[in-house]
């Protein structure tokens, strides 16, 4: 998955094959990359639940380590699930949803683990509206609304209501978002929400499904991606996310999404 800036120079174009050309837009708890896919990704895993939609009549393909490629019209990938992705020349939407968000909890109930096919007819009108919005050059706000409409339509397939996060963990995440570049410790956050560090560590993992430090890294990556998607340099994006430099940001991005950030061209 991915989003980010155009390739920096002709030398990079020769060395790094493009993942795709499109647009990336983020909102609190989710993001979307929509565009024409190119080269496949390497194996990777990230914190978000991923929805992958083929929007131009073809298919998206996924592969888990040790398995062959499998084709889907639409698919869901569980959080932290290693996978590779490919949909050469297909218009695709890759929607990432944080699993602890209300939307993430709703769609997370649709699968147990790994990668699963989705009933594309359950959200066909919403998918068509998303493709039309992209092709018409819609605003970021309109693309977000269309992406979230897909999530809502999919979430309504399952009747179980989302479970709210523990308020202390919800407050902890809010603090982290307010201080993205700070070298904030788990002990500081635990104190701020009136928990012991050990109790906080256990509760954070229980509520979010991820340990504290990897979650901090995920949030910083979100901020860097948002900065880069807005047209800023990789160096500026790295600093926005609290990374030491663009190389640190690029390594983290590739580990999470299976591609280098410079391999994604902006529409």
Per-residue pLDDT of the chain (267 residues; tens, 9 = 90+): 333 333 333 334 445 678 999 999 999 889 999 999 999 999 999 999 999 999 999 999 999 999 999 999 999 999 999 999 999 999 999 999 998 888 888 888 777 578 999 988 888 999 999 999 999 999 999 999 999 999 988 876 544 455 778 999 999 988 988 876 677 899 999 999 999 999 999 999 988 888 999 889 888 888 888 888 888 899 999 988 888 899 999 999 999 999 988 888 877
The gap between the terminal CA atoms of the chain, to the nearest Å, is 16
Of residues 83, 79, 15, the one with CA closest to residue 44:
83
Give the Å distances, CA to CA, from 177 to 14, 28, 150, 157: 37, 10, 26, 31
Q: Per the structure block, which two tokens stand in for 192?
A: 């701020």
Q: What is the pLDDT of residue 18?
A: 86
Other CB atoms within a 10 A radius of the CB of residue 163 amount to 11
- Label residue 64 exposed, middle or buried (CB < 10 Å: 0-12, 13-18, 19+): middle
Give the Å distances, CA to CA, from 161 to 37, 59, 105, 203, 204: 34, 31, 8, 21, 21
Domain 10-163 classified CATH 2.60.120.10?
Answer: yes
Q: Which H or E run includes 123?
A: none
Other CB atoms within a 10 A radius of the CB of residue 146 amount to 23
| Structure-token match 């999470």, residue found | 256
Cα–Cα distance for residue pair 203/213, rounded to 1 Å = 14
Q: Per the structure block, which two tokens stand in for 54?
A: 């083929």
Q: What is the pLDDT of residue 103?
A: 86
Give residue limits of the domains in the chain.
10-163
pTM recorded for the entire structure: 0.85
CA atoms within 13 A on the CB side of 71: 7
């Amino acid at each position: 998955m991915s989003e980010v800036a155009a390739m920096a120079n002709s030398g990079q174009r020769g060395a790094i094959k493009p993942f795709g050309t499109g647009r990336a837009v983020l909102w609190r708890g989710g993001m979307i990359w929509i565009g024409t896919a190119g080269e496949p990704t390497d194996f990777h895993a990230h914190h978000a639940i991923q929805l992958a939609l083929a929007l131009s009549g073809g298919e998206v393909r996924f592969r888990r380590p040790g398995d062959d490629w499998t084709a889907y019209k639409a698919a869901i990938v569980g959080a932290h699930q290693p996978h590779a992705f490919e949909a050469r020349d297909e218009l695709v939407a890759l929607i990432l949803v944080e699993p602890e968000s209300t939307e993430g909890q709703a769609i997370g109930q649709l699968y147990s683990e790994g990668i699963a096919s989705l009933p594309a007819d359950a959200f066909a009108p919403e998918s068509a509206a998303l493709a039309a919005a992209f092709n018409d050059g819609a605003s970021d706000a309109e693309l977000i609304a269309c992406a979230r409409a897909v999530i809502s339509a999919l979430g309504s397939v399952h009747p179980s209501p989302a479970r709210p996060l523990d308020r202390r963990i919800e407050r902890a995440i809010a603090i982290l978002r307010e201080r993205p570049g700070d070298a904030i410790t788990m002990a500081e956050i635990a104190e701020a929400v009136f928990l012991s560090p050990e109790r906080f560590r256990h509760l954070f993992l229980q509520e979010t499904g991820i340990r504290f430090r990897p979650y901090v890294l995920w949030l910083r990556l979100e901020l860097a991606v948002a900065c880069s998607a807005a047209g800023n340099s990789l160096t500026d994006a790295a600093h926005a996310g609290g990374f030491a430099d663009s190389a640190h940001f690029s390594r983290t991005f590739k580990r999470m999404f299976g591609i280098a950030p410079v391999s994604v061209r902006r529409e």
